[in-house]
Structure formats: C-alpha cells, structure tokens
Structure 1
Amino acid sequence: MSEPIQVSLSALEHYDYCPRQAGLILLEESYADDASTVRGNLLHQRVHEPGDESRPGVRTLRALPVWHDRLGLTGVCDVVELRDDGAVVPVEHKAGPYVSGGPADVQVAAQAICLEERFKTPVPLGYIYSGADRKRHPVAVDEALRRRVVDLSRAVRAVLADTVLPAPVADKRCRRCSMNELCMPKLLANQKRYRDELDRLFQPADESPGDD
C-alpha cells in the first residue's frame, strides 16, 4: 500500500481559509507578504527556535516536529506543553485576532492529532495565542473538528495530486489576503470578462486591404 501524499499542517489552514490561496502556495510556490504576514513572521521567529525549557508543573518544547502516518500529515508545532498531570497541550501562535471556529482551529487540532500519535495519549485541548490581544484562546479538539481536519487533508491532497488551481472565491476574504494581486480573484471569477480580456490581448492584427 502506497503512502499518502504528505500534507503540511499549515496547508490545512490555508485551504480552510481559501482553497485557491492554498493552491497558489502549494502548486506555484507563490507567496506575498503584507503588514499582517510580516507581523506573523516576526512573532514566529521567537517561537520557531527549537528549544526545551522547564518550570514548575510544565515542560515547554518549541518548534517540535510532528507527523501522522495514516493521515499523511506533517508539520511543526510552535509550542507544546508537557504538564506534570500527563497532559500534552499544543499552543499555536498567531499575530492577528483570534476567530472562534476559524482556520487556526483546524491547524491546532491537526497538531493535537499528530501529538496523540507521537506521545500515545489523548490530546483533547489546544490553544491559540493571539498576538493581537496577547491572550490564549482554548480550542476543544472534538469529533467535529477532527472530521474537519480529515476532510481538509483529503481536499489538499487532491489539489496536490491533480495539480489544478482551485477557482477564486472573489468575496470579502480577498480584501484581507496578501496574495490578492497574484490571484486576481475579481477578474478570474468573472469568466466572461476574463475571456474578453484574453481576446483583446491576443486578437490577431487585421489584414491589410488588398492582401490575399
């Protein structure tokens, strides 16, 4: 039995936010920064240095590689806390505000699933640390969220296997996306306008009068 195509944990979050954004990153290796992504990169620089520290009651691991063989998932956890009561708790760091039920929940749930395989213990809870309000927001890794991770991993794997960019969404998400100019959602979502623009750009020159 062949192994499934590996899907990164970050790709799940990208696809959940916008399938086309994920496709541009995965298939064309395209990416563009804006103020929000720069803030996120700076935040992650502080937590992506591999490390191990301890304080009473908890051992903290940083930049911990994780994977799940059956689901074909792989990635790196920002922070994982190993608590004295046996709990294993992932803490994903985000620069922007936390949105309950949003794509970040998928990423931390996927981390929990991978940690369960690595540490052989249930991981029912994770946290999203928001740099916007400097708070931890709990994420219950319930069955519904686990199914969402599985469904998204299949969707991302299909994009990788088919090598076809998903269609643009052209909605309010695009205004906040750093890849708006690379994606051209408004133009591509309007297929008639897109075809008209192609016809205009590539229309052959008119033949001169009298030419055979």
Structure 2
Amino acid sequence: MSVSVQRADHTGGPLAQVTLSALEHHEYCPRQAGLILLEDGYADDAATIRGTLMHQRVHEPGQQTRGAVRTLRALPVWHDELALIGVCDVVELHHDGRIIPIEHKSGTYTPGGPADVQLAGQAMCLEAMFHRDVPHGLIYAGTTRRRYTVNVDHALRERVVSAAHAVRQTVTSMTLPSAPADQRCRRCSMRDMCMPRVLARTKAYTAAATTLFLPRPEAAWDD
C-alpha cells in the first residue's frame, strides 16, 4: 500500500530519523513532543511509572515459540525510506506468514488515538524489513487486559508520514509548538514543565499590557 513520501529535506539531504515513540508523543500533543525532543524534558507520574514497570518484561530482548507462533520481544525496527526507527514491544511471527506487531499500553485504549499511529509505524517498518504486508496490529491495554485490533489502512499510514514530517519540522525549526491548554493537559505528566494555562493566555496578557501602558492622548495641563 503506497503512501506519499518525502525522500529528502529542503536542503536535498536525507531525511532526519524520527523515532516511533516521537510519533505518538506528537499525535497526543505537538508541544509534548517538542519538549522531549528539543529540551530533553520528561517527567514521571503514576501513569508513566506504571507504564515503565509494565514494559520492563516486554523490553527484555528475547524470543519463544509456542505452537505455530514465534514471539519476538523488544525487536528493533526501521524503515530507511521513511527514516523511521524504533522498537516493537512484541512481534508475533505466524507459520502462515502473518506478522503482527503488538504494542503494550498500561492505560486504556482509545480507538483512532496516538497509539494507533505508533503501531502503524511499527507495521510499516516490519513491512520494509520482512517484505511482507502487515495489514493490522494489536494494542494490549493494561487497564482492561485486552487486545484491540488496529487496521493499518491507507489513512493511518498517511498519518504516520504526516506526523513524521511535523516532528522533523519541529526539530529543524527549533521552535516549541504552542500549548494547547485543553483536556489533554490534565493527564499529561509534563504539565508543570509546559505551563499550558499560562502560555495559552500569552496573547491576552500582551493585549492587556499594551492597553494598560498605551500613551494617553495629550491632555491640556493647567499652568
């Protein structure tokens, strides 16, 4: 399944590599991705610590075979043409040729959310590496302890390419995206670092200050 790919940057050089985790961060919040990529910023909360503990097992490289399924853990993946790199939590190799990436999340699963883009990026990398179609993947949600099937269709693949392009623009411009200051901020471990409520009102503060300190019209002064 083909997608529109930009094979070089504006200078004609090769594309800068983008990690699959950066795609998810950007899809959740471009500013969050910018803080991580440009300022090496990150902060833990209960949710991120829970996710780290959950990934300790799946991030230990290894493999096992049970019946007709070979399971690979912590598999490094890449896509040279798209300049994507990352690590798959789990990849199942079935004897009938199917390749299924499985992304583990500690929280709940939101259909069509950022995790879908990260998983689709994994599928596209696996396709490039194994030269086989990977039409779908699975997301395991720790909260519900269920696997959810994600169809890696054309629209989702385009989201991967678009997100990768946006991440490169953020890194190239060295400019942090604006703060969204919406419901996403409540669940973000980086809100204290980001200060979304303050920065979202920058224009209002500037306008108020401008009005406050505007020179008054010349007035007639009594001698």
TM-score, structure 2 normalization: 0.86
Question: What corresponds to 1:116 in structure 2?
Answer: 127
Q: How does 1:43-58 map to 2 (within 5 A)?
A: 43-58=54-69
Alignment partners' CA distance in 1, 2:45 and 2:99: 34
1:158 maps onto 2:179 in alignment: no
Aligned to 1:137: 148
Structure 1 runs of 4+ aligned residues shifted over 2 Å read 192-199
CA deviation profile, 1:67-111 (whole Å, cap 9, x unmatched): 111111000000000001000000000000000000000000000
Equivalent residue letter for 1:88: I
**2:197 is the alignment partner of 1:189:** no
Task: Tell whether the 8 Å contact from 1:126 to 1:139 is kept in structure 2 after alignment.
Answer: yes
What is the distance in 2 between the residues matched to 1:72 and 1:93? 23
Three-state SS of the structure 1 residue aligned to 2:121 is helix
Matching residue of 1:208? none
- CA RMSD of superposed structures (Å): 1.6
* Partner in structure 2 of residue 102 of structure 1: 113
Task: Please name the residue that 1:147 is paired with.
Answer: 158
Distance 1:143 1:192, change over 3 A: closer
Unaligned runs of 5+ in 1: 200-212
The two structures have a TM-score, normalised by structure 1, of 0.91
Deviation (angstroms), 1:3: 1.8
Of 35, 40, 43, the match for 1:32: 43
Contact map agreement 1:188 1:194 (CA 8 A) in 2: no
3-state SS of the aligned residue for 2:144? coil
The total of aligned residue pairs comes to 199
The answer to whether the Cα contact below 8 Å between 1:187 and 1:194 also exists between their aligned partners in 2 is: no
Q: Gaps spanning 5+ residues in structure 2: where?
A: 1-11, 211-223
**Pair 1:21-2:36 in alignment:** no
**Distance (whole Å) between structure 1 residues aligned to residue 32 and residue 67 of structure 2:** 42
Alignment counterpart, residue 88 of structure 1, candidates 99, 105, 129 = 99
